[in-house]
Amino acid sequence: MQSVLAAVAATIGLNIFVLPAYSGWDGAEWGMTPEQVSAAVPGVRVVRRGMLLSDARKQSARDVELYGISLEASYFYSPRGLTFIRFDVPFRRCATLVDGLIAAHGQPANVSDQGILKLITWEDPDAGNRLILLQSAAGICDLRIRSIEAGNGVG
């Protein structure tokens, strides 16, 4: 009997370590529908005829503050549900954003500097997220958060 209890206890203890971690951002989880995100995240509003980026459409948004910068979080959905969250950061605030990302997530996992465009990536395995910053001297400062499991793409 004690060996059975020990086996059950070991199995329960082992299962604690294999449970999937929360994967998403600020209450929204990857794969949720727009309705589920609206129910889970306060302040989300529906967007009609939102832009299409990387095979995903903006269908909801909310105002947020990220590293001291007031921004709009744009939620993009594909047929698989919530695919990524985008922040169009004013270019003059891009250095503040980078400083905040480094303070929160450490040095980037990857930096790809292609001259006119810089792609900076941070990994957040605890949240299951990849943060991708597109930065350009042409005035682009675009942050996207997506699932690590979604691969290395920008969208």
Q: Please give the residue that has the higher pLDDT: either 7 or 53.
A: 53
Express each pLDDT in 100-133 by its tens digit: 999 999 999 999 999 899 999 999 998 899 999 9
Q: Please give the residue that has the higher pLDDT: either 7 or 155.
A: 155
pLDDT (0 to 100) of residue 22: 57
CA distances from residue 41 to 26, 30, 46, 87, 100 in whole angstroms, order as listed: 7, 13, 12, 16, 22
- Does residue 2 register a pLDDT over 70? no
Express each pLDDT in 47-104 by its tens digit: 998 999 989 999 999 999 999 999 999 999 999 999 999 999 999 999 999 999 999 9
Q: Find, among 127, 21, 33, 131, the residue nearest to 82 by Cα.
A: 33
Instruction: Check: CB of residue 141 under 8 Å from CB of residue 93.
Output: yes
Q: pLDDT category, 153, cuts 50, 70, 90?
A: low
- Does residue 152 register a pLDDT over 90? no
Domain range annotation of the chain:
2-150
25 by Cβ neighbours in 10 Å (0-12 / 13-18 / 19+) ranks as buried
Q: pLDDT category, 14, cuts 50, 70, 90?
A: very low
